Chains A and B, each alone.
Chain A
Amino acid sequence: MNQIHIDRLITIAFLVLISASTLRAQAPASSATNVDSRIAALQQQVADAKGSADNAWMLTSSALVLMMTGPGLALFYGGLVRKKNVLATMMQSFALMALISVLWAVLGYSLAFGSGNSFIGDLHNIFLRGVGLQSDPAYSATIPQQTFMIYQLMFAIITPALITGAFAERMKFSAMVVFMILWSVLVYDPMAHMVWGKNGLLNAALGGRFPTLDFAGGTVVHVTSGVSALVCAIYLGRRLGYPKQAMPPHSVVLSVIGACLLWVGWFGFNAGSALGSGGLATSAFVATHFATAAAALGWIGAEWLRSGHPTTLGAISGAVAGLVAITPASGFVGPMAALVIGLIAGVVCYFMVATVKARLGYDDSLDAFGVHGAGGTLGALLTGVFASSSVNPIFKDSQGNPLPSGVLEGNVHQIVNQFVGLLIAWVLAIVGTLLILKVVDATMGLRVSAEQEVQGLDLSQHGEEGYYWEGSA
């Protein structure tokens, strides 16, 4: 009954439309202005259609990037810790989803993407003032500024969440909250502004002083978080019992699920960074995928040769290393360069966590530095080498003709700019993190007590357990 009813309705609507358009076609084109106005209307419709397509992809990408933190990173990290810390570890990621969101609406977006100066934005957009449904052509002409704002928020969330891997199993929850608020404002927002913001010192798209190629956040996200993670790991000191006591992951199963969600979510992270749904998004999507695959093979190949087993944890760690390394390059390189970047990242990051970390003796519990710091730095440098103007003509001469992008195309100077970007990211991360750690340490203390650490953070910080034993009910 219903079906027939709907069919009839559609038929009627169709007939009405046809007759209406016939009538309009028969109306004489009275003047040239009439034609002009109709062309203008048509152009507006085309622009609207492109805007809708871009907006659809950007909203999808925003959701994908949020999925990287929760459940992606929460599961990835949660599986790597001991059973008694699984909830506390997942809670750190989840709490940041809420905390950074509020901070972003109140202050963060304005500091990162307000006009400001070369180093930081201003306070014009606090409380999201003036951030509406109109687009901001400086960032993206086709999507509402609110879409841009919410998309960038997801990056602001995952970046501090990555750091939590370094101080896992020993930091007070209260101290983490304060540390992360300060870190987001003092380290993330300035770095995001310098690379992506208006007037930003390193902004390649908007004519910065040292144009650093960073498509989706190699320096902004991975170098800042990875280097800050190293500072945290060294400042807080090792976990009790490390490295004598065995602390293997309590569930690589959770980590595998988390890594798969990261891989999928990263398509939003990298392909979404095209800020539109056109060919550049496809190119970044493809490069991301191939680099990840090659990096997984690189890592398990290296460990297979060195210790005899291709491990599941190695495969997923390699994949994440590849995702990190391709992040700055994703919108500048083709698929073959992506394979090379991924393969190098997989092997290098394996040696960073398997040999360099052990030799230096710091306890970066979940290898936030070994994967994100090292992989991000490597990726930023390789971006300067492999960037191709045929993939993305980012640099243009005064006539608008594309100039060479990377070293392989003859733009040798680009490697210097990449170094400048990296240097600023490293220095900002080290100085900012150290300062914040000292302040938080002096005022409230960073580490849980030894008893609390032995008991586990699930119970001592949150009063609950990840795996409840029915017998104690």
Chain B
Amino acid sequence: MARKVTIGRVRLSTRVSEDSSREIMTKIETIIQTSKLEAVKNALHEIGVEGMTVLEVRGHGRQKGHTEVYRGREYTVDLIPKIKIEMVLTDDMVEKAAQAIISSAQTGKIGDGKIFLSRVDDAIRIRNIERGENAL
């Protein structure tokens, strides 16, 4: 059964059945050490994750910042460079992905980062307007 959805000012006509709204998708946002990007990316590829978005970010958790000195003036840098990876996965992939991130990014020291999981209601592939899991 077709339905009309409004996203911003664009009206989209979709061909997806009602069932797709019951699909469970999860967004994983993980913040890791910059040096761990390659390892985490490889681990995720190995378990079959096909897409991700990587961002260079700055932030802090419990990890303290560091000081930098320019011509004798000290600056405290408390926003530390980190890598953030975002991906939306089908439910059966989520635990495997979390395990892959942990095993590849963990050093056991403060500053290893976090993984956040949240529900995603729907997904749309812009090219052909596929919806739900098909769009992942």
Residues of A at the B interface (CB closer than 8 Å) are 243, 246, 248-249, 252, 303, 306-307, 309, 311, 313-314, 317, 350, 353-355, 358, 367
28 contacts between A and B (CB under 8 A): A246-B75, A246-B76, A248-B68, A248-B73, A248-B75, A249-B70, A252-B70, A303-B69, A303-B72, A306-B72, A307-B69, A307-B72, A307-B74, A311-B69, A311-B70, A313-B70, A313-B71, A317-B71, A350-B72, A353-B71, A353-B72, A354-B71, A354-B72, A354-B73, A355-B72, A358-B72, A358-B73, A367-B71
In the A-B complex, the 4 residue pairs with the closest CB atoms: A354-B72, A246-B75, A353-B71, A248-B70
Question: Do A314 and B71 touch (CB < 8 A)?
Answer: yes
How many Å lie between the Cα of A306 and that of B73 in the bound state? 12
How many CB-defined contacts (below 8 Å) exist between A and B?
A: 32
Q: Is A309's CB under 8 angstroms from B69's CB?
A: yes
Q: Mark B45-76, 1 if CB is under 8 A from A, else 0.
A: 00000000000000000000000111111111
The CA of A311 and the CA of B71, in the complex, are separated in Å by 8
Q: Give min CB distance, A62 to chain B, whole Å.
A: 32
CB distance from A249 to the nearest CB of B (A): 6
Most B CB within 10 A of own CB, among A248, A350, A353: A248
| Complexed CA–CA distance, A248 and B76 (Å) | 11
**Which of chain B's residues has its CB closest to A349's CB?**
B71
- A sample of 10 more A-B contacts (CB under 8 A), given A313-B70, A358-B72, is A248-B70, A248-B73, A248-B75, A307-B69, A307-B72, A313-B71, A317-B71, A353-B71, A353-B72, A355-B72
Query: Nearest chain-A residue to B72 (Cβ)?
Result: A354
In the complex, residue of chain B having the shortest beta-carbon distance to the beta carbon of A311? B69
**CB neighbours of B68 from chain A (8 A):** 248
Chain B interface size, under 10 / 10 to 19 / 20 to 34 / 35 or more: under 10
CB neighbours (8 Å) of A303 from chain B are 69, 72
Q: Report the nearest B residue to A353, measured CB to CB.
A: B71
Q: How far is the CB of A460 from chain B (nearest CB, A)?
A: 25
With a CB–CB cut-off of 8 A, which chain B residues contact A317? 71
A353 neighbours in B (Cβ, 8 Å)? 71-72
- Chain A binding surface, main DSSP class: helix
B49 to chain A, nearest CB (A): 26
Contact with A along B73-99 (1 / 0, CB 8 A): 111100000000000000000000000
Note all chain B residues with C-beta closer than 8 A to A367.
Answer: 71
Cβ contacts under 8 Å, A243 to chain B: 73
A248 to B69, CA, bound (A): 9
Measured in the bound complex, the distance between the Cα atoms of B55 and A391 in whole Å is 61
Q: How far is the CA of A311 from the CA of B72 in the complex (A)?
A: 10
Name the distance in Å between B21's Cβ and chain A's nearest Cβ: 32
Residues of chain A with a CB closer than 8 A to B74's CB: 307
Measured between beta carbons, the chain B residues less than 8 angstroms from A249 are 70
CA distance A311 to B75 in the complex (A): 14
**Residues on the A chain within 8 Å of B73, using CB:** 243, 248, 354, 358
Assembly CA distance A252 to B68 (angstroms): 13
A313 to B74, CA, bound (A): 13
Chain B residues with CB under 8 A of A358 = 72-73
What is the distance, in angstroms, from A407's C-beta to the closest C-beta of chain B? 32
| B72: A residues at CB distance < 8 A | 303, 306-307, 350, 353-355, 358
CA distance A395 to B70 in the complex (A): 44
In whole angstroms, what is the CA distance A323 to B74 when docked?
Answer: 26
B-side contacts of A246, CB under 8 Å: 75-76
The complex places the Cα of A341 from the Cα of B81 at a distance, in Å, of 42
Within the complex, what minimum Cβ distance (angstroms) separates A353 from chain B?
5
A354 to B76 CA separation, bound complex (whole angstroms): 17
- Minimum Cβ distance to chain A for residue B7 (Å): 20
A339 to B76, CA, bound (A): 36
User: Could you tell me the distance in whole angstroms from the C-beta of B53 to the nearest C-beta in chain A?
Assistant: 14
Cα of A248 to Cα of B66 in the assembled complex, Å: 14
Tell me which of A246, A303, A309, A350 has the highest count of chain B C-beta atoms within 10 A of its own C-beta: A246
What separation, in Å, do the CA atoms of A270 and B69 have in the docked complex?
32
Cα A317 to Cα B71 with chains together (Å): 8
| Inter-chain contacts of A350 with B (CB < 8 A) | 72
CA distance A87 to B99 in the complex (A): 47
Closest residue of B by beta carbon distance from A354: B72
Residues of A within 8 A of B69 (CB): 303, 307, 309, 311
**A260 CB → nearest B CB, Å:** 18
Query: How far, in angstroms, from A303 to B73 measured CA to CA in the complex?
Result: 11
Interface centre among B71, B73, B76, by most chain A C-beta atoms within 10 angstroms, is: B71
Closest to A307 in B: B69
Give the interface centre of B68, B70, B76 by most chain A CB atoms within 10 Å: B70
How close is B79's CB to chain A, nearest CB, in angstroms? 11
- The answer for the CA separation of A39 and B5 in the assembled complex, in Å, is 102
Separation of A310 and B52 alpha carbons in the complex (Å): 40
- Chain B residues positioned under 8 Å from A311 (CB to CB): 69-70
The residues of B that contact A309 with a CB separation of less than 8 Å are 69
**Alpha-carbon distance A355/B73, docked complex (angstroms):** 9
Interface centre among B72, B74, B75 (most CB of A within 10 A): B72
The complex places the Cα of A249 from the Cα of B71 at a distance, in Å, of 10
- Closest Cβ neighbor of A366 among chain B residues: B71
B74 to chain A, nearest CB (A): 8
Q: Tell me which residues across on chain B come within 8 A of A314, comparing CB atoms.
A: 71
